[in-house]
Structure 1
Amino acid sequence: MKVYISADMEGVTGLVDAEDVQPPGRDYERGRGMMTEDVNAATRGAFAAGAAAVLVNDAHGPMRNLLPDLLDPRALLIKGRPKPMGMIEGLDSSYDAVLCVGFHARAGVLGVLSHSFMGHEIEDIWLDDQVTGEIGLFEATASAYGVPVVLLTGDDTACAEAVAWNSSIRTVPVKYAKDRFAAQLVPVAEARSAIEAGAREALRSLPSAVGAGARTLSVRWQSASVVSHLTAIPGVARRDDRTVTVTADMPQLYRLFNLFLRVATAVTSNPPYC
């Protein structure tokens, strides 16, 4: 069994603030260690369930957050950016399951560090007219490869979003949102134990994942300038001054969306969480 782990940071055990998850935040270095240990817990669970190989993709921000010297040595690591497929880099149909560690809720909902990819720059995302965020886009792309997302860890809001998108996803809440930068924390040892057990149990009975054909992605940006640049990409249409839409198969949409992010980053200078 081959297992793929995508590791984000906002949903990691104990982390609640931009200072915890963004360099050069005063607690960022500690946050890196917390992130690595959450991934290690999921990795232990994967191998306990019979995994023969585990690939970890560092999927947060600069994508060089995980500490290789502290990472379970049985896991392989993809680190750094740019990566054409971003948070899902390295995943293909040879994998049997995906574990999402440290994920967060979409923009506009009251979850810990909630946003969609670019802080406040992306206001909304729709996939086939269904509002979504990072979780939904990730799950839809993995399913298009025929690989099920079987576990997601994060705050309770992210966990609820995952189950609403696909009820077969097992979730492990490691904190309970009180506001966007505040949470009631699950004790660290208890959270790590729950992640390990959740991964182990989720991998013992794998659901099927069948991807759809062509799908339509729409993204509403804060800046009309971003839209004016994105419409230069063949196939991308303007729905209104701040919204673009494009139709393609899901892996191509995800790859194209990562191009959107690079264009938007070049056009704007707004930091996330403003």
Structure 2
Amino acid sequence: MKILISADMEGATGVTWPADVLPGTPQWERCRPLFTSDVNAAVAGFFDGGADEVLINEAHWTMRNLLLERLDDRAQMLTGRHKALSMVEGVQHGDVDAIAFVGYHTGAGTEGVLAHTYLANSVTGVWVDGVPAGEGRLNALVVAEYGVPVVLVTGDDRACEDAKGYAPRARTAAVKDYVSRYAAVCRTPARTAADIRAAARDAAALAGRYEPEAGGPYEVELEFDAEHLVGAASVVPGVERSGVRRVAYTSPTMYEGIRCFKAVTTLVSSAVEEQYG
């Protein structure tokens, strides 16, 4: 049994503030061991549950945040940027039996600690076929096309609640309770490690590939916090204005949909000015 862990940082133990996840800051350095502890707990739990192999895909920002020297020796880590499937890279090779979303968060425009979708700001909402979609739902739609179930989600309590909408059978482990976008009631690392390990052990029983889902075509819509970003986004072929601050596009598969999404957010990032956005 091979498990893929997609590891994001905003939903990690103790993380509540932008500096906690911004590479290069003292707070980021402080939070890296907490993030690594959450991932190690998931690794240990999956091996407790019978996994033979665990691959961790770094999924936050520069994708160079986890401390390799502190990882469970039984796991391997895929680190670095510019991967074809970004946050769920590795799922496409036909040898993954289940995926875990560790350290995940809610999407832009919703309640949740450090809630956002791909970009820290600028994107204020994302919808797929009219349904709100954060990174969890977007990535779940991608992995479904490879027949891989989402079996574990960790993050704040809102992220765990959100997971019921896109992975209703998945086990969850909340490491903190939402108070505001920048505040949470946090559990200690020892407690969250125990909770994540137990959830991952139970989640291993849900592993097992199934017939890939062909759910497309998908209508994807994004909303931005400034009108000029629509112009930047609509440079991508097939992406068209759908409102004053919105664009939309249609993709036959979510594989193509997430790649178009990455292109849109990359262009939007380049159009954001430091002070006025």
Short-chain TM bin:
over 0.9
| DSSP-derived class of the 2:70 partner | coil
Task: From the superposition, tell whether residues 8 and 269 of structure 1 become closer, same or farther in structure 2 (CA, over 3 Å).
Answer: farther
What residue identity is the alignment partner of 1:235? G
Distance in 2, matches of 1:188 and 1:173, equals 12
Contact 1:9 1:103 (C-alpha < 8 Å) held by counterparts: yes
Aligned match of 1:71: 71
- Residues 131-181 of structure 1, C-alpha deviations (whole Å, 9 max, x = no match): 111111011111121101110000001111111333212110011111111
TM-score by length of 1: 0.93
Render the CA deviation track for 1:63-102: whole Å, top value 9, x for unaligned: 1101111111222211121323221122224211001110
214-223 or 153-162: bigger deviation:
214-223
1:221 Cα deviation after fit:
1.5
| Paired residues of 1:36 and 1:71 also in contact (CA < 8 A) | yes
User: Which residue in 2 is equivalent to 1:143?
Assistant: 144
Counterpart position of 1:180:
181
Q: Name the CA distance, whole Å, in 2 between partners of 1:71 and 1:269.
A: 38
Q: How many residues align?
A: 272
Aligned-residue offset at 1:215: 1.2
Q: Which residue of 2 aligns with 1:119?
A: 120
State the secondary structure of the residue aligned to 2:68. coil
SS at match of 2:69: coil
Gaps of 5+ in 2: none
Among the aligned pairs, what percent are the same residue?
A: 38
Provide the C-alpha distance between the structure 1 equivalents of 2:46 and 2:146, rounded to a whole number of angstroms: 20
Q: Does 1:242 align with 2:245?
A: yes
Give the stretch that moved more between structures: 90-99 or 222-231.
222-231
SS of match in other structure, 1:111: coil
Give the counterpart of 2:222 among 212, 219, 223: 219
Give the SS at the match of 2:12: coil
1:38 aligned onto 2:38: yes
Residue 213 of structure 1 aligns to a residue whose secondary structure is coil
1:55 aligns with 2:58: no
- Tell me the TM-score normalized by structure 2: 0.92
State the alpha-carbon separation in 2 of the partners of residues 108 and 233 from structure 1: 24
**Amino acid of the structure 2 residue aligned with 1:50:** G
Give 1:34 shift: 0.8
Q: For residues 113-146 of structure 1, what are the alpha-carbon distances to aligned partners after superposition, in whole Å with 9 as ceiling and x for unaligned?
A: 1111112200110001101111110111111211
SS of the residue 1:139 aligns to: helix
Aligned-residue CA RMSD (Å): 1.8
Once the 2 structures are TM-superposed, how far is the Cα of residue 269 of structure 1 from its aligned partner?
3.9
Q: For residues 242 and 110 of structure 1, what CA distance do their matches in structure 2 show?
A: 21
Equivalent residues of 1:84, 1:258 under 8 A apart: no
Residue 154 of structure 2: aligned partner: 153
Q: What is the CA-CA distance between 1:239 and the residue it aligns to?
A: 0.9
Superposed displacement of residue 270, structure 1: 4.9
- The whole-number CA distance in structure 1 between the counterparts of 2:239 and 2:153 is 31
Structure 1 stretch displaced more, 200-209 or 260-269:
200-209
Q: CA separation of 1:22/1:209 partners in 2, compared to 1, >3 Å: closer, same or farther?
A: farther
Equivalent in the alignment of 2:259: 255
Equivalent position SS for 1:251: helix
How far apart are the structure 1 equivalents of 2:95 and 2:219?
26
